[in-house]
Amino acid sequence: MSLLLEGKRAFITGGTRGIGAALCEVFAREGADVAFNYNSRDDLATEIIAKIEAFQRRALSFKVSVTDRLGMKKLAREIVEKWGGIDILVNNAAINRGDNFATTTDRAWDEVINTNVGSLFAVTKPIYKQMIRQRKGSILNITSIGAIRALPTAVHYATSKAAMIGFTKCLSREAGTFGVKVNAIAAGIFDTELAQALPQRLLEMHHFWASAGRAGRPEELAEYAAFMVSDRNSFMNGEVVIVDGGAVT
């Protein structure tokens, strides 16, 4: 059987840490050339490039913010010029702040919303336009169960991730006309830096109530994501799939 992503060209946001790093490695293992962006850690970017190339796949890294609209347009053009196109986009990059709503500052609210929601426009539009021209593509958005369930997470974070669900469903209607699929994964608690910022009490409660009895490993989400953006998942569009270890609502 051929690899899930044989010959595909993927771009992943936030590719140097946590789920993003796992996505880069698993996608490369499954046959995709992988490009990714990052904000600050050149050393981590170098490590991810080495992991991608270890699977005999092409790798590109870009030190540019997901909120930089001009930077993202340039990035998309460069990938297309070098690789001929982009088949897969994963909107993974996100930030959170451990704020109570009553004490959330204007700056914290704007930072989370601008990064998590504004990036959907900045990143997706130039790549989506390229997918329209080639009449194929798959967009996967990594949202959160915090957008669906009443969890003790920050309001600005839950709001931004709920916006991602609306983005997914509405864009999928338009995109389907051009042969482009748009789906999302609502992730539970995974062992990442983002989760480590959560209150210890919440983590203990999650491990007790989740049937898996633990937090997820980033590679576990990446394995499922690889299937979701593959040609074998040919009839799913506008869907939000929960991957949370069987947590009780």
The domain locations on the chain are 9-242
pLDDT (0 to 100) of residue 154: 86
pLDDT in tens, 180-221: 999 999 998 877 776 666 666 666 666 667 777 777 899 999
pLDDT (0 to 100) of residue 205: 64
Residue showing tokens 């798959």: 138
pLDDT (0 to 100) of residue 198: 63
Q: Where are the alpha helices (DSSP H) in 54-190?
A: 69-83, 106-116, 118-134, 155-176
Which residue has better confidence, 67 or 197? 67
pLDDT (0 to 100) of residue 66: 97
The catalytic position among 38, 128, 157, 224 is 157
Q: How far is CA 138 from CA 97, 179, 235, 237, in A?
A: 30, 9, 12, 9
Q: How far is CA 221 from CA 60, 201, 217, 247, in A?
A: 22, 24, 7, 15
* pLDDT, mean of residues 115-133: 97
Q: 224 an active-site residue?
A: no
| Residue 1 pLDDT class (50, 70, 90 cuts) | low
Q: Specify the fold of 9-242.
A: Rossmann fold (3.40.50)
Least-confidence region, from 68-72, 118-122, 167-171, 208-212: 208-212
